């Protein structure tokens, strides 16, 4: 089995409540200024938690009616609040913080970057949009001509939308890894190419994948040096992307794939990224990744003959799995495991005759576990 090593129908009424921005509030730690003076024994007025809340201007969490400008929010400005973008035209928009949900309505010819979103990103009635998005859920309705570089934990959904093209998320700024964590997203759970068209039309294809060589810099520019974002060290170099660049649903170049699994430890994420770099340097291709928790019965079903030695390791936290593809990839991965990760607990497919079964067993389990 394997070896392991130690070491178009418009439905505006449905969304009416979604289009009304909700006033957000932020907790503060203000205290009362009432202090007894002299012989005054009157007690200070009792304060409740709702008295301590500082009212926030909803406009701080909206961009609306803008044209021909570069705008957005710097890191630390949203801190998990919801955000609204609406009726913008020919704008460069950079929301470089984590948020709860983001809705984008009635925007035309805009370039948009959205930092990690804990919940949903919902585009409605938008046209000619080029964007970089990381979120738990991605939806579009009544949209036309969108190029999306996406990291999505669940299956992206389009509805009554045409001309939709998708590529794998490619982006970096120094705070981005922390924003992924704050939003509760894993950089390894990315279903960017697994699109569900809620309103398919017979004989037509409403979505496709961007060419494999597509780069963010050709679609969404970095902010110009005169903008307020000049202090943020942004990079759209795929090699620096916080999210691993995967081939996704595109046709594989080789019939040989290898399953490589890291078990929980202090450096699991760093080790997985290092393994990806090692494999790519040898000419192999990363197809997909997953970070998921496992139970003892899951281990027995997925790893079968190798399960007994692995059960204790899944209690330490989620596992990170990689599917790597290319002729000779199994033997190469076994060599890398021995040479680079000899002190790390990993599972590697044992031979190319069973490696496809390993890949299918793990990723089918992971997709079911995540409800995909």
355-369 vs 296-303: helix axis angle to the nearest 10? 150
State the Cα–Cα distance between residues 318 and 300, nearest whole angstrom: 16
What are 54's strand-pairing partners?
Answer: 26
Q: Which of 243, 240, 318 is nearest to 286 (CA)?
A: 243
- 335 DSSP assignment: H
pLDDT attached to residue 19: 55
Cβ proximity of 185 and 170 under 8 Å: no
Cβ proximity of 151 and 190 under 8 Å: yes
- Cα 54 to its chain centre, rounded Å, is 31
Q: Residue length, the chain?
A: 372
Maximum distance among all Cα pairs of the chain, rounded to whole angstroms: 89
Torsion sign, CA atoms 238, 242, 244, 249: negative
Q: Which two tokens stand for residue 287?
A: 């197809």
pLDDT attached to residue 42: 54
What are 121's strand-pairing partners?
Answer: 102, 138
Q: Which of 169, 149, 148, 179 is nearest to 74 (CA)?
A: 179
State the Cα–Cα distance between residues 71 and 92, nearest whole angstrom: 6
State the Cα–Cα distance between residues 277 and 96, nearest whole angstrom: 26
- 12 DSSP assignment: G
pLDDT attached to residue 60: 83
What are 165's strand-pairing partners?
Answer: 147, 208
Q: What is the pLDDT along the chain (372 residues), one digit of tens a residue?
A: 455 444 344 444 455 445 544 444 444 444 444 444 444 445 556 666 555 555 667 788 999 999 999 999 999 999 999 999 999 999 999 999 999 999 999 999 999 999 999 999 999 999 999 999 999 999 999 999 999 999 999 999 999 999 999 999 999 999 999 999 999 999 999 999 999 999 998 888 999 999 999 999 999 999 988 889 989 999 999 999 999 999 999 999 999 999 999 998 889 999 999 999 999 999 999 999 999 999 999 998 898 877 788 888 888 899 999 999 999 999 999 999 999 998 888 999 999 999 999 999 999 999 998 877
Please give the C-alpha separations between residue 33 and each of 36, 37, 44, 285, in angstroms, as whole numbers.
Answer: 10, 12, 9, 63
Q: What would the DSSP string read from start to end of 347-366?
A: EEES-TTTHHHHHHHHHHHH
Q: Which two tokens stand for residue 258?
A: 């290898």
Element (H, E) at 180: helix 176-182
pLDDT attached to residue 53: 54
Phi and psi angles of residue 207, each rounded to the nearest 5 degrees, phi first: -145, 160
Q: Which of 135, 87, 85 is nearest to 108 (CA)?
A: 87
pLDDT attached to residue 48: 62
pLDDT attached to residue 20: 47
Q: Which of 93, 83, 170, 159 is nearest to 121 (CA)?
A: 83
């Amino acid at each position: 089995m394997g070896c392991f090593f130690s070491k178009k129908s418009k439905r505006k009424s449905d969304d009416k409540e979604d289009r009304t921005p909700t006033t957000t509030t932020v907790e503060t730690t203000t205290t009362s200024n009432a202090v007894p003076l002299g012989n005054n024994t009157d007690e200070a007025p009792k304060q409740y938690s709702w008295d301590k809340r500082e009212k926030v201007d909803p406009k701080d969490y909206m961009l609306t009616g803008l044209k021909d400008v570069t705008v957005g929010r710097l890191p630390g400005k949203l801190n998990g609040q919801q955000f609204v973008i609406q009726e913008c035209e020919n704008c460069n928009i950079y929301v470089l913080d984590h948020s709860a949900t983001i809705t984008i309505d009635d925007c035309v010819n805009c370039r948009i970057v959205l930092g990690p979103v804990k919940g949903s990103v919902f585009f409605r009635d938008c046209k000619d949009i080029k964007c970089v998005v990381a979120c738990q859920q991605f939806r579009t309705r009544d949209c036309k001509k969108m190029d999306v570089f996406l990291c999505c934990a669940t299956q992206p959904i389009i509805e009554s939308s045409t001309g939709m093209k998708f590529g794998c998320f490619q982006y970096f700024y120094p705070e981005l890894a922390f924003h992924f964590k704050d939003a509760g997203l894993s950089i390894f759970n990315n279903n960017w190419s697994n699109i569900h068209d809620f309103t398919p039309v017979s004989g037509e294809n409403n979505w496709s994948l961007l060419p494999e060589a597509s780069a963010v810099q050709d679609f969404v520019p970095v902010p110009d040096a005169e903008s307020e974002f000049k202090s943020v060290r942004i990079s759209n170099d795929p090699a620096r992307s916080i999210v691993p660049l995967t081939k996704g649903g595109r046709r594989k170049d080789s019939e040989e794939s290898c399953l490589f699994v890291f078990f929980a430890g202090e450096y699991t994420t760093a080790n997985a990224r290092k393994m990806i770099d090692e494999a790519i340097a040898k000419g192999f291709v990363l197809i997909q990744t997953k970070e998921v928790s496992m139970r003892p019965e899951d281990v027995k079903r997925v790893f079968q003959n190798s399960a007994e030695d692995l059960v204790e390791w899944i209690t330490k936290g989620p596992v990170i799995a990689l599917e790597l593809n290319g002729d000779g990839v199994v033997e190469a991965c076994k060599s890398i495991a021995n040479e680079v990760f000899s002190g790390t607990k990993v599972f590697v497919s044992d031979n190319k005759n069973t490696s496809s079964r390993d890949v299918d067993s793990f990723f089918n389990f992971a997709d079911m576990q995540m409800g995909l």
